[in-house]
A = this chain, B = another copy of it.
Amino acid sequence: MTCDSILTNIARNISLEPEEVRLFESHLGFRELRKKETLLQEGQLCKAISFVDQGALRAYCLDKHGRESTIMFAFPDWWVTDMYCFINRKPAMMFIEALEYSCVFQLTRDGLDELFTALPKFEKLFRILMQNAYTREQLRTIENLTLTAEERYDRFLEKYPKVAQQVPQKQIASYLGITPEFLSTIRKNKSRASRS
Contact = CB atoms under 8 A, between A and B. Distances in A.
B116 A146 contact: no
A133 B131 CA distance: 9
Contacts of A94: 142
A35 interface: no
Nearest to A67: B146
A152 B130 CA distance: 25
Contacts of A142: 61, 69, 71, 93-94
A145 interface: yes
Counting every copy of the chain, the complex holds 2
Contact of A138 (B69, B124, B137): B137
A31 interface: no
A43 interface: no
A134 B87 CA distance: 11
Q: Assign chain A's interface to a size class.
A: 35 or more
Interface centre among A70, A142, A174, A177 (most CB of B within 10 A): A142
A62 B130 CA distance: 26
Interface in A53-90: 61-63, 67, 69-71, 83-84, 87-88
A141 interface: yes
Interface string A109-132: 000000010001101101100110
B134 A83 contact: yes
Interface string A88-116: 10000110000000000000000000001
13 contacts: A61-B146, A71-B142, A83-B138, A88-B135, A94-B142, A126-B131, A130-B130, A133-B138, A134-B137, A137-B138, A137-B141, A140-B141, A145-B177
